[in-house]
Every structure is written in C-alpha cells, then in structure tokens.
Structure 1
Amino acid sequence: MSIKTNRPDWGKLFASILTEPGRLGEHYRLFHRYSLGNQLLAVVQMEERGIPIGPIASFNGWKKLGRRVKKGEKALALWMPVVKTERIEKEDGTEEEVTKRFFIMKNHWFALAQTEPIDPENPGTIPTPETPEWDRATALANLGITEVPFEHPDGNCQGFARPNKMQIAINPLAAFPWKTAFHEMAHCLLHGKQAEAAFVDGGVIDTSIEEAEAESVAYLCCATLGLPGLEEARGYVQSWLGSSAKAEEFVKKSAARVFAAADKILKAGQSYCKEAAHEDDPEREEVRHGV
C-alpha cells in the first residue's frame, strides 16, 4: 500500500499541532531526575563492571515499572542528601535550631541491564505496532543514519540524536518508540551544522524550535502511518513553544522544513519502494507473500 495515495492533509495536521489539546506524557516523569554528578558516577560504575549503560532506578522503582532486579546483581552507589536538624545552646543560654545538610553514599540503584520483566509477556514497554507501509531499518539505511545503543542513565530521556554524526539512540523503555525514532531522525536531517544554514532567515535555531520541529515531523509521520502518540506529540510541541508569538513564528518559518523532513523519512522507509522494481517477478512475489 502506498503512503502517498492515502496521505492525510498535512497542512491541517500541522495546524492541529498548535490548536488541538495535547498533553505531556507521564513517561517523561517515570524516573527520578538524578543530578549530573550522580549520573556520571553511575556511568563510571557501569563501565567498570561491564554493565551496558542505561536508565537507572531503585529496586522499588523498577518494580513499579514492571521489572525486577536479577538475582545476584549488586547495586550501584550514588550520593544521597541527608538533612539533619539539631538544637544547639547559644551563649545567652537560649537554644537555636540548626539544619545541616550533607551527603552519604548508598548502594540502592540498578541499571536496566540488571533487571528483567516481572511478567515475560509484559516486559514493561508499550508494544510496537506493525507498519507494513514503512520499514525503520530501510529508512535508516537510505538516510545514512546509524542507530546506536542507548547509553544514558536518565530513564525519562526517550532517545537522543547526534546530528553531526548521523546517529540516533532509542530508549528500550520508550513509551512510543516509533514516535521517538521519527523525532531523532528529524534532528539528524534538520539540525546538523549544515542543516542549520537552511533556516529561512539564516539564523541559528534555538533549542525550543529544534525540539518543536523534530516532534512535528514525528507527529506527521505517526498520523500518516496511523501510529499512537499524537496527543503526546501536540503536548510536547506546545510545551516547547510556549507563547502564541513563538507559535506564529514557528508556523511561518518551520512548516516547509517540517514537511520536507517528514516526506523524506517516509519515502526512505516505504516498503513498496523496495519491491517496485520486482513487481513483474513471480519468484519475488512468492518470497514476499511467504509462498
């Protein structure tokens, strides 16, 4: 089935991103936000022990996410703030309450690789829907983008991109892995150093516009393929743009860029493109349909 034949009205879809209600998904707040120092400390320990770098959580934290710590796994150590209040006697004989804050190291945390699903049939991630019209591996190959392991201790981070290296990584616990993949691919296409020169006024794009553009591309791709996460995508874009003035600027300057990137991603992964050259080959048809 051709995507082009059944493509919805992207102009209306783009406008709906800013006008229809959206919401920020709870998946951005599932994990505790660890300090940068604790994140680095966790990464060092994972590297020293040969544990794949990934999201971290406490024993109970993983349990709430439908996962359990594997037998024999040793916890990672992080710095924990401790607040202690005591009363001291002053020179005039009165007492004063003093609060002291200090840090102690505790071994309470585990990386994703140290856990396993409590229920093997429900591994704690949202099932990835099938998309017969679009193939992710094919799209990545055609766009020259490489998918690398998700090496980040923050589980709230759904994925990341390195546009100048044309690399993306998707959190294995991402709530909407397809939407996240489209988002990170859009960053590679739109926000490398060379891509920035294509911005309408030639200026440097700030972070909020970059995120809004990438998520808008993801929105169009998901809407075209009938994938979930549209309400969350709208909430994400609206959160980054904030003001109506910035939203108006976004519509004027970014619409063409968003449409071009979404079109490129969808065409790069269309399964029918791979098979078009073999339409008259009966043997090819037999392989395709599993005969």
Structure 2
Amino acid sequence: MTAATIERFSPAAVDEDGQVDWRVLLEQAMTMPGHLGDTYCRFYQYSLQNQILLWSQGVTEPCAPFSVWKALGRIPVKGGGRAVLHPRPIRKTDEESGEKVVVAMRFRLKRSTFPYSNTVGPEVDWPELPEWDAQRALAALDIVQVPYASIDGNCQGYSFARNVAVSPVAKYPLKTFFHELGHVMLGHTTDSAEGESPCSRGVAEFQAEAAAYLLAHNLELSEWAPAESRAYIQHWLGDEQVTEAHIRAVFTAVDKILRAGRTVADADVDEEAGEAIAS
C-alpha cells in the first residue's frame, strides 16, 4: 500500500503495518458523510409500456435519446432510432376561466430513442489492477460474467445464480463488478441454506456495497467515488439491523474474492491477513 493510499483513510483504519482494518473502514462507510452523484439518474426511466414496446423491437440494452448520448460522449447512428410512445395532450378552453386545460391524452410513436449498440464513441474503460485479475477471480470462484441485457441505463449491473453482468455504460464498472461479485459470494443470488433465513433487500444491498467498498480500498481502485458508495450503503441500511453475522459474512466474501484474483504468492499473504481478521 502506498503512502498516498494510506492518506485516504482515517488513521484508525490503518494498523502499524500499513494494513487496512476492515472493521474500522466499514464503520466509517456506515457513519461518514456520503453523497449520491448522478450515477443512478443519468438515463430517462421509460414506462413499462415503452419498455415492452422496446423489447418487441428486439432491444435488450440501455436506450436514450440523442441529447443524453451526446452528453455521455456518444453519438447515435443515423437511422438507428427505436420507436417509443410520446404523450400528446388534447386541450380545450375552459368556459369559466378561459384557460386551456388538458381533457385527454393521446400517444404517438416516434423513433426518438437509440440503443447503446446504435451509438458510437469511447467504450467503458475497465481499470487494470496490477495485483488482482478479474478473469482469474471469476474462474477461481466459478462465476460467469454474462452480457448485460436490460433497457435500464441507470442500473449499473445485476447478478443471478452464479452470473454477473455489468452495464456497458456503467459509470464505475469495476466497482460495480465488485458489488455484483459480493451478491453472489454472500449467497444473495441462490436459495438460502436449509434453516437459514434470507436477509432483507436492505441488508443484502448493504452487504454487497460494503464488500465493494472494502475491495476498492484494498486494491487501491482510483476510478470510483467512495462518498457515493457510503451514501448507497447508508441509504439501503436505513433502519435495518446489521448483526455481527452479517458483517463477518462481508469480511469472508471480501477475503475470498481478493484471494481468487491474486497471484499465488499474494493469495498466501491475503489468507494470513484474512485469518488474522477473523480471529
């Protein structure tokens, strides 16, 4: 860990050997101020009717009008638009007030939205971590990264069974990848073990983002927003009660993900650190 990295932590989060104290760091994530940026609101949320209409046109990727893609540095291809319904209010003059009032709403089809594949521009930049490899981790953990198949551009990624998907327009793709790995490794995407009660959605999102938060710090990821991650954690946590078992499960998942993507020599070091944390 570099001196610059250590400076990002409170002194209490780093021990005398320069190692990050996961428990202190997680406590900071739950209590330090956070701020949600525009990560989850850059795209227009289409109505269910328009989503069905887009699916019927074979669209299974993020869609947005020309102005949104332009703001994101991508230019839609001419003729690549897809049709969605646009409201067209019918107005008439109110006899008493003399003002125009809406009396009915009609809809018209307009090719005004463009799927991601019908735009051109820079692709999402996946940061490289010199000490950790995503493909090595996937193979070791028996997890598959599948193509993203959702119209919602505000959704950064999702996971199911032992599969993870990251949006081609994710703002922080590697941090999102960590989050989805966390869901899988924490057992959120599979049936709970016999006799074990599944956790609530709030606790599940807290655990997954907490795992991503610890991974990003441990691997010195620079392309992410810690304050936004803290805000996400605190939003989903709300009034939920987090138990010691929930926290220890996060530490176990983080330890396994770290070791899975490390070289053999580095994995041995991580295993010793994980045993020390668990004790």
TM-score (structure 2 length as normaliser) = 0.81
Give the aligned residue type for 2:178.
F
Give the aligned residue type for 1:161.
S
The aligned residue for residue 61 of structure 2 is 54
1:258 equivalent among 250, 264, 273: 250
The aligned residue for residue 230 of structure 1 is 226
Whether 1:269 aligns to 2:275 is no
Kept in 1: contact 2:202–2:238 (CA 8 A): no
Give the deviation of 1:251 after TM superposition: 4.8
Give the aligned residue type for 1:225.
L
Kept in 2: contact 1:89–1:96 (CA 8 A): no
Give the deviation of 1:136 after TM superposition: 0.2
Structure in which a larger fraction of residues adopt helix: 1
CA distance in structure 2 between the aligned counterparts of 1:116 and 1:147, rounded to whole angstroms: 24
Equivalences for residues 87-236 of structure 1 within 5 A: 87=93, 97-117=101-121, 123=122, 125=124, 127-162=125-160, 164=161, 166-190=162-186, 191-194=188-191, 196-197=192-193, 202-227=196-221, 228-236=224-232
The aligned residue for residue 30 of structure 2 is 18
CA distance in structure 1 between the aligned counterparts of 2:220 and 2:29, rounded to whole angstroms: 16
Whether 1:37 aligns to 2:49 is yes
CA distance in structure 2 between the aligned counterparts of 1:173 and 1:257, rounded to whole angstroms: 30
| Aligned CA distance change for structure 1 residues 44 and 263 (closer, same or farther; 3 Å) | same
Give the aligned residue type for 1:76.
R
CA distance in structure 1 between the aligned counterparts of 2:102 and 2:53, rounded to whole angstroms: 30
SS of the equivalent of 1:130 reads coil
Give the aligned residue type for 1:144.
D
Give the aligned residue type for 2:65.
S
Give the aligned residue type for 1:174.
A
Whether 1:84 aligns to 2:94 is no
Whether 1:75 aligns to 2:81 is yes
State the aligned residue count.
Answer: 249
Give the deviation of 1:38 after TM superposition: 1.4
| Aligned CA distance change for structure 1 residues 86 and 172 (closer, same or farther; 3 Å) | same
CA distance in structure 1 between the aligned counterparts of 2:47 and 2:259, rounded to whole angstroms: 40
SS of the equivalent of 2:57 reads helix
Deviations 1:238-277 (A, max 9, x none): 111123xx2xx2153410111111111111101345998x
Give the aligned residue type for 2:55.
V
Query: In terms of Rg, which structure is larger?
Result: 1
Query: Structure 1 stretches of 5 or more lacking a match?
Result: 48-52, 118-122, 277-291
CA distance in structure 2 between the aligned counterparts of 1:75 and 1:81, rounded to whole angstroms: 18
Identity %: 37
SS of the equivalent of 2:46 reads coil
TM-score (structure 1 length as normaliser) = 0.78
Kept in 1: contact 2:44–2:64 (CA 8 A): yes
| Aligned CA distance change for structure 1 residues 95 and 36 (closer, same or farther; 3 Å) | closer
CA distance in structure 2 between the aligned counterparts of 1:95 and 1:106, rounded to whole angstroms: 29
Kept in 2: contact 1:54–1:112 (CA 8 A): yes
Deviations 1:19-48 (A, max 9, x none): 11111131111000111221222122135x
Query: Structure 2 stretches of 5 or more lacking a match?
Result: 2-16, 269-279
Give the aligned residue type for 1:150.
Y
Give the aligned residue type for 2:32.
E
